[in-house]
Amino acid sequence: MWKQLYELLRGALFLGRDAVELRREVTHLREEMGEVQRALNQLAHNFEHLADREKLEREKLVLQLENAILRLERRLPPGKSSKE
């Protein structure tokens, strides 16, 4: 009987210790998940910023191309009229 009581108390102590340890691990994992979430949010923000910059760069290149085409068109001699 004493042995059973001892084993029961010992088991309860181990369960209590394990519960405390698991709570610490859960707290630690929650902190890590928060860090991961913040890192993912930062990456998402960086991708959005990069996409905006790339879009502006493409628009700038299109405008430069249009300007170059307009400059070339001004250099061309006037075409012959179709009446001749």
| Domain boundaries defined on the chain | 14-72
Find the mean pLDDT for residues 28-41.
98
Does the pTM of the predicted model rise above 0.75? no
Name the more confident of 78 and 83.
78
Amino acid 82: pLDDT: 63
Strand boundaries in 1-84, DSSP class E: none
d(CA 40, CA 62): 33
More confident residue, 43 or 84: 43
pLDDT value at residue 46: 98
Q: What is each CA distance from 83 to 67, 79, 80, in whole angstroms?
A: 31, 12, 8
Q: What is the mean pLDDT of the chain?
A: 90
Alpha-carbon distance 58 to 50, whole Å?
Answer: 12
Which amino acid is it at 53?
Answer: R
Lowest mean pLDDT among 12-16, 37-41, 72-76: 72-76
How far, in Å, are 38, 44, 73 from residue 47 at the CA level? 14, 5, 39
